[in-house]
Amino acid sequence: MTKITEEQKQIVKSTAPILKEHGKEITAIFYKKMFAAHPELLNYFNMTNQEIGTQPLALANTVYLAAENIEQLEILLPQVKTIAHKHRSLTIKAEHYPIVGEYLLKGIAEYLGDAATPEILDAWGAAYGIIADIFIEVEQEMYDALGDVRNRDFIAFKIAAKQDVAPNVFTLDLTRNDGGELLDFAPGQYISLRVKLGELFHNRQYSLTKAFDGKTYQVAIKRENEKEPAGVVSNHIYNNYQVGDTLLATLPAGDFELDADATSHVFIAGGIGITPIASMVSSFQNHDHVTLIHCVRSEEYAVFSQNFQSKLGESYHQFAGKNITKSDLERLVTSGAAIYLCGPVPFMQAVEVMLRELGHDQDDIHFEAFQPALSLV
């Protein structure tokens, strides 16, 4: 295990504000240097998130929060586990961490210039080592839980069904090719799909959308073709993969899960944010204490609406072409319910503000964001 002295902890804490103010610039340098020296690592990173800046910001916030809490890192375990699930789904391994550490220090050194004294760099090196050890330990437990060594890498899956379910949204049903066990999953989890374009692999996470049947995984994919940059992987899969073709995928991961202690559940989805919520809703045998709110631009974009209507009846509320208001939430969200939010970040932020103004406790509100979580901090 990496060691860090009390003096080094104080150096890290005193210089942590640099990461808060300039972390995105420092991590941009880091990624540029690391990818130049280790282009094979491009196979693990979402380059769209690199382009729009969410990945560098997420890394900067991770390091900053760890530095601020270097004496009590255990309070960051929820964030660590969220990131570790993503790493495990991408098959990040322990041997990758020293590479990241080397180039993170080089990024800090280049940005700070003469201010990057040996003492500062040594302190940050020790701090990174502590952080890396925590991630490696948590991720190793996740790998071990998968059992068979074949389950720890990308696996060949066959497309058993492909269906358009809304404008720019389609589902894939996937069956495992190698005869290995198809592991059960917690409703709300996702799998990573991998495709090769040119010389590089591209990976994306897609939510599992129906309860586990022991035979198939189903994901719903939105074709991101209405904004720039367009969806590299989603459009490639839609245009080039058909029933019977093989896709690479890892087994389920993610910590957006049902609150086991809650007696009632309210799900609030914006657009394609319905995808992880779909499997959560379908996992209930008794829907008496389940409410679903789906906000969409128009009725045709309400994915799975017929299924929800038949399951939930009057507990399914569709807001098509109009914004949900505080009075709507006051009417539909019961006090003390576990609340699950998924959708565009501005949508979730607006709904959270209204829920908090209505007196709902922060601990009762659970989020799933379709971008690096700590880029939202």
317 residue type, one letter:
H
Whose tokens are 């074949």? That residue is 150
- Residue 173: enclosing H or E segment and its boundaries? strand 169-176
CA distance 315 to 291: 5
DSSP letters, 243-273, are TT-EEEEPPPB------TT-S-EEEEEEGGG
Whether residue 301 lies in the annotated active site: no
Strands 200-207 and 190-197: what pairing?
Answer: antiparallel
Number of residues in the chain:
377
CA distance 377 to 351: 17
CA distance 98 to 272: 37
Tokens for 296, please give them: 């969409």
SS3 344: coil
| List 31, 64, 97, 103, catalytic entry | 97
Beta-carbon contacts of residue 297 (< 8 Å; ≥ 6 apart): 271, 320, 321
- Residue 24: enclosing H or E segment and its boundaries? helix 6-37
Strands 290-296 and 265-270: what pairing?
Answer: parallel
Whether residue 139 lies in the annotated active site: yes
Tokens for 120, please give them: 């500062």
Whose tokens are 């374009």? That residue is 197
Distance in Å from the first CA to the final CA of the chain: 29
| List 31, 64, 111, 139, catalytic entry | 139
Tell me which residues are annotated as active site.
97, 139
